[in-house]
Amino acid sequence: MSVLDKKAKIRTKNLNLYYGNAHCLCDITMDIPENAITAIIGPSGCGKSSLLRLFNRMNDLIPIARASGEAYLDDFSIYGKDTYVVELRKKIGMVFQKPNVFPMSIRENITLAPRRQGITNKAKLDEIVESTLNQVGLWNDFKDILGKPALNRSAGEQQRLCIARAIAINPDVILMDESCSALDPESTMKVEELMASLAKKYTTIIVTHSMEQARRVSDMSAFIMIDSEERIGRLVEYAPTMEMFSTPKDKRTEDYITGRFG
């Protein structure tokens, strides 16, 4: 089945983002396929991360940020009047650029959010810890040290723990904001393998500055660029990754992926 035949999990229509008076992203319209990996690529400062943060409304934390347009998770309006952002974020998990494990034990890092959602049964929590750590390939390393501080682990392990933490609340979508940029090559490889296996279950959207990574792991690619006159970020090209990297339709995409700028 081609990635284009997959059902759209997130749909945006003319989505715009403003920081104060600055128009940051203009008219982003895209359908993000379910259970596939979509990569957002583009030069530094083009608004890749801002776009990612539009999906789970993390931009809400910035007082001057304002979004307009439409975005849907299935039939659920992300920017609807009655949308409760906490419910939205339970459906759309996020992994950040630098591993941001909380200063508490490995176990608590994973169980914190489920507990806040009302799961108090210890057996159930143990099950969540084991299954999420299994999914990120850390169960064998961590099963005897669950009570130890998470901050003592290596950056690669911390980042995989952050992924485990994100899937512990059973989201539909996982956002990854340059999640390998702070990791060594070996850890990067592990996280990339993890992305591929998670994509079977979760719709995954990644932001990456590495075109190699986008080419290696993603099914769809979105190329974003700021046009030089208006200084506004636009979606230049959005296509299956294989297609974009072999036969880019837009001249600017071609220039970027062949390394002529950016």
Partner 1 sequence: MKSVKGDFSGKVFFVLALSSILALVVITVFILMKGLPLIAEVGLFKFIFSTTWAPGQGEYGIGAMILGSVIVTLGAAVIGVPIGICCSIFMAEMAPERMRKIFRPAIQLLAGIPSVVYGFWGLVFVVPFIREHLGGSGYSILAGSVVLAIMILPTIISISEVSIIALPRTYKEGALALGMTHWQTIYSVQLPAAKSGIVAAVILGIGRAIGETMAVIMVLGNAVIIPKSIIDPVRTLTTNIGIEMGYATGKHQEALFATGIVLFVVIMALNITAQYITRKKVKK
Sites of contact with partner 1 (CB under 8 A): 56, 58, 61, 86-91, 93-94, 96, 98, 100, 102-104, 112-113, 116-117, 151, 162, 165-166, 169
Q: Which helix (H) or strand (E) holds 8?
A: strand 8-19
Closer residue to partner 1, CB minimum distance, 9 or 165: 165
In angstroms, what is the minimal distance from the CB of 164 to partner 1?
Answer: 12
Residue 128, CA distances (Å) to 6, 110, 111, 166, 222 in order: 29, 8, 8, 12, 33
Taking the mean position of all CA atoms in its chain, how far away is CA 86? 17
Closer residue to partner 1, CB minimum distance, 28 or 166: 166
In angstroms, what is the minimal distance from the CB of 48 to partner 1?
Answer: 17
Closer residue to partner 1, CB minimum distance, 77 or 105: 105
In angstroms, what is the minimal distance from the CB of 66 to partner 1?
Answer: 17
- For the record, the structure tokens of 227 come out as 């046009």
| 44 contact partners, CB below 8 Å, separation of at least 6 | 209, 262
* Residue 47 DSSP class: S
In angstroms, what is the minimal distance from the CB of 170 to partner 1?
Answer: 10
Closer residue to partner 1, CB minimum distance, 66 or 90: 90
In angstroms, what is the minimal distance from the CB of 239 to partner 1?
Answer: 29
Q: Are 27 and 14 in contact (CB under 8 A)?
A: yes
List helix spans (H) across the chain.
48-55, 85-91, 106-116, 122-135, 139-142, 155-167, 185-198, 211-217, 241-246, 251-257
Q: Are 40 and 52 in contact (CB under 8 A)?
A: yes
**What SS3 state is found at 155?**
helix
- Closest listed residue to residue 174, CA positions, set 193, 198, 155, 154: 198
